[in-house]
Each structure stands twice: as C-alpha cells, then as structure tokens.
A = this chain, B = another copy of it.
Amino acid sequence: MAATRPLGEFERIARFFAPLAAPGALGLVDDVALIAGPPGEQYVLKTDAIVEGIDFLPGTAPDLVAQKLLRVNLSDLAAKGAVPLGYLLVTALPRHLGEEWLAGFAAGLAKDQATYGIGLLGGDSSAIDGPITLSVAAIGRVAAGRAVLRSTARPGDLVFVTGTLGDAALGLAVLQGRLAVEDAAARDYLIDRYHLPQPRLAPGQRLVGLAHAMLDISDGLVADLGHLCDASGVAAVIEAERLPLSAPAQAAVSGDARWLMAALGGGDDYELAFSAPAGVAAAVAALAGETGVPVTAIGRIEAGLGVRVLGRDGAPMAVAEAGYRHF
C-alpha cells in the first residue's frame, strides 16, 4: 500500500478548486483574476488572508498587522502592473481584543490607504474563538489586455528581481531569536522588512509592455519562480552570487553562508520577479533609476522544467523546501 501524505496547497487548488474556475480566473494559476472594466480597462482581483501565528507573530502591533494585510494583497496587484483602487475587508477577531486594538488596526489601514491611494469598499466582521484571522479582497485597474501574467515567460528571457531578497526571512529569524544581529540599525531594518512589505507598484506599472511574465515573491524566490516556470512551461537558471542582498543580509551571510537560503527560499520578500527579453535591459535599468527601486538580473529562462540555482563555482546548489509557513 502506498504511503499517503496530506495534499499541499497547490495540489489542493489543482484538484478541488481549479475545476471551479471562472474564465477570468486564469485557471487559478496566476493568483489573480481579470474582469472587464470601463472602456480600455480591466480590473484585477486578488484575495489573501493572514492568520495570527502563521503569517504574523502573536502580539504584533495592530497597525503593523493592518499594513501587512493590505500590502501582501497590493503586492499581487503590483505584479500584474495594476493600479490599486480599493479593498474589501473581513475580520474574525477573538473577543478579548478591545477597542484599542481595533483603533490601532484602523489607524494602520488609514495610513496605508493614504500611502497607496486606496479606499475601503466594504467588509464583514465576526467574532472567533481562535486566532486573529483577516482577509482582504483587493481590486486594481490595468489597461485592457496589458496585465503581466505568470504564464508568458519565454526561453531566452533574462530573470530580474526588484529590491533585495532575504531581508524579511532574516528579520523573522531575529524576532524568533534564531539570528543575532549586533548592529541596532541593521536589526531594525531586517525586522521592518518582515513587518512592512513594500509592494512594488511603481516598478510593476512601468514593467507593463517590458516584462514577459511577472509575479511577487511571497513563498521564496525559488518556489515562486518555480510557479512562474510551471505556468509558462519553461525552466529558469539562477546564479546565486547575483542575488541582490542588503548590507545587513550580506553581513548575515558572511557570518554563516547558510543564511543565503533566506534569499533563495525564505519567503515574505514581496519583491517582484519577472522575465524580460535582453533587449529591454536598458529600459529596465532606467525604470529602476526613476522609481528608486533597484532591479537586478539574476539569471535566465531556458527550455525545460524547474528552477536550478548555480553556486559561485557554477555547480548546482540544493535549495530547501520554501519556508513560507514559518512557525
């Protein structure tokens, strides 16, 4: 008798939910849906939930929880090149959370509404005898037919990422006492990167027409690039030494080279990964300069399947299973 194991999230989606997908849902492989909007536009729809103890640490300040909730959703809109418009909010809150918590949560929402130019479109609230459970359904706009999908990478494309990788996973390691960082500014930087993702909306919007395929990195670079490759029917080769690391992340890797795995599989980066033809590299560099968000070429798309990571010596590196369920 064959051993059985629980289905992973992607297997569950494929088996139980993909058969239910509406035409605009892109077979549920793109993490967003597209529906017709006003003339010349489409709406991009996305929903993402966060649960206390899984996606954020118990005791996290409520304004940070609110901001993370919004930003993980906005990050998906960024990856399609969309302009965010608004969101629906569902809260299931333990009864012991009082009005002070709610006031802090609403303040976090208000702050990010101002930052990102979005508004609350509606919601529902429940009591729950369990962990804080929150979800947002976000809606954005994109020029009709111009959303950048996951399924359209082509052999010969270069692979790029925005920002720096691994910071959030290292920040979580600091919070959990698994990583000691002496320098207070470096420690704060890493923790902040864990608490407050920076949805790359401006670069995402500028990449419409330049990028062939794009997604945001939430489960870890290798895992998410794997999703992009699967959806596109291509392979990717990444050169580990090209991974963009912040100074605090470089310091951690210098101390123990195994922390490089934070950049490859740590998750919670909420940076964009995209493929684009070599011919647009100059335009990509220009948008990086104009938006102030670094963009780095880290590898290439090839025919085949899967993601390979090459070390400094050019030999393939093993990357552990993506750590997107952290604690």
Contact = CB atoms under 8 A, between A and B. Distances in A.
15 contacts: A6-B98, A21-B120, A24-B121, A33-B122, A36-B37, A36-B38, A45-B122, A51-B127, A54-B126, A54-B128, A128-B133, A129-B130, A130-B130, A135-B135, A137-B137
A15 to B, nearest CB: 8
Interface string A262-303: 000000000000000000000000000000000000000000
Interface of A: 6-7, 9, 12-13, 16-17, 19-25, 28, 31-33, 35-39, 43, 45-51, 53-55, 85-86, 88-90, 92, 98-99, 102-103, 105-106, 109-110, 113, 118-131, 133, 135, 137, 139, 325
A160 B131 CA distance: 41
Number of copies: 2
Contact of A88 (B33, B36, B39): B33
Nearest to A86: B22
A122 B31 contact: yes
Nearest to A121: B33
Given A21-B120, A88-B45, A131-B129, A39 B37 contact: no
Given A33-B121, A85-B35, A133-B133, A106 B47 contact: no
Given A16-B102, A45-B122, A137-B137, A54 B85 contact: no
Contact of A48 (B109, B118, B124, B325): B124
A259 B17 CA distance: 41
Nearest to A73: B124
A21 B120 CA distance: 5
Contacts of A43: 35, 43
Nearest to A47: B88
Contacts of A49: 90, 92, 124, 126
Given A20-B113, A37-B36, A122 B90 contact: no
A129 B55 CA distance: 13
A47 B325 CA distance: 26
A62 to B, nearest CB: 11
Contact of A120 (B25, B110, B131): B25
B47 A103 contact: no
Given A47-B122, A88-B137, 10 more contacts: A12-B102, A13-B123, A21-B119, A25-B119, A25-B122, A35-B139, A45-B88, A47-B90, A49-B90, A130-B130
Contacts of A124: 47-49, 135
Nearest to A21: B120
Enumerate the 7 nearest inter-chain pairs by beta-carbon distance, A residue then B residue, closest first.
A130-B130, A22-B119, A137-B137, A33-B121, A20-B120, A16-B106, A47-B88
Contacts of A48: 124
